[in-house]
Structure 1
Amino acid sequence: MEWIIIAIGGGVGATIRFLVQLWIGKKLISSYWATALVNVLGSLMLGITSNMAIETSSLLTFITVGVLGAFTTFSTFAFDIVKLIEIKKWGTALLFINVNLMGGIMAFWLGWII
């Protein structure tokens, strides 16, 4: 039964990520910064939910594994890095890596201590 909860959460998270990336893309921000935003925001939300006293583990699984697991995206992060390197945007690639990794860790920590 738990896999159904995760699948539903995954559908919700992937849809929200798609809408966020679509919206940001229309605001003249490159798609890779949309990836960074969802990864950092997802890390913040994971920090908050991981440290909350959620009574049912099914709800926690729905949010953390399902919604946030699909909302954040390591594969798109890797794809974006390769694309930036291919077009020789070395500085942007390094900044993008740092924003995703350090920003994600700091956002998770902030969410954890809130």
Structure 2
Amino acid sequence: MSYVTTGLGGIIGSLLRYFLSVTALSLWGDGFPFGTLAANLLGAFAFGWLTNNKAVFRKLPAHIVSGIGTGIIGSFTTFSTFSLETLQLVEQDHLFFAFLYVIFSLLGGLYCAWLGSCLAIKVSNTEKKSL
């Protein structure tokens, strides 16, 4: 069952990512890969929040967790696109933008994952107190 939910989640995540990329491209053009950056930061936040939201994850079957984590979030974020876009920025002599992209992706991703984790822990602690 995990294969099915992960596959379905992958379809959803990839469609969401495509929508985000198209939207970012229409809003800001193709000078900087805002769509991929946004997908990776949102995905880091969501994965941090979901994996530390024990109140939700304890209640969900493992195949649903796999569908959300590996399927939706895994296909929504992408390291391969990040790597290719960084290389393209370097090849186009946009070294400053390439540097910014790597730094924002790395530090922003770590920060968003931490922020999502903190939020989940805070919500979980608040729920425990209200019980």
**Category of TM-score, reference length = shorter chain:** over 0.9
**Which of 83, 102, 110 is 2:88 aligned to?**
83
Q: Distance in 2 between matches of 1:28 and 1:96?
A: 15
Does 26-35 or 90-99 show the bigger shift? Answer: 26-35
Q: Is residue 101 from structure 1 mapped to residue 106 from structure 2 by the alignment?
A: yes
Q: Distance in 2 between matches of 1:36 and 1:22?
A: 13
TM-score normalised by L of structure 2: 0.83
1:67 CA displacement: 0.1
1:58 CA displacement: 2.1
Q: Distance in 1 between matches of 2:49 and 2:77?
A: 15
Q: Which residue of 2 aligns with 1:26?
A: 26
SS at match of 1:88: coil
- The percentage of counterpart residues that share the same residue type is 27
Q: Distance in 2 between matches of 1:2 and 1:60?
A: 9
Structure 2: state its 5+ residue gaps: 120-131
TM-score normalised by L of structure 1: 0.95
Q: Which residue of 2 aligns with 1:72?
A: 77
The structure number with the bigger radius of gyration is 2
Cα RMSD for the two superposed structures? 1.0
SS at match of 1:27: helix
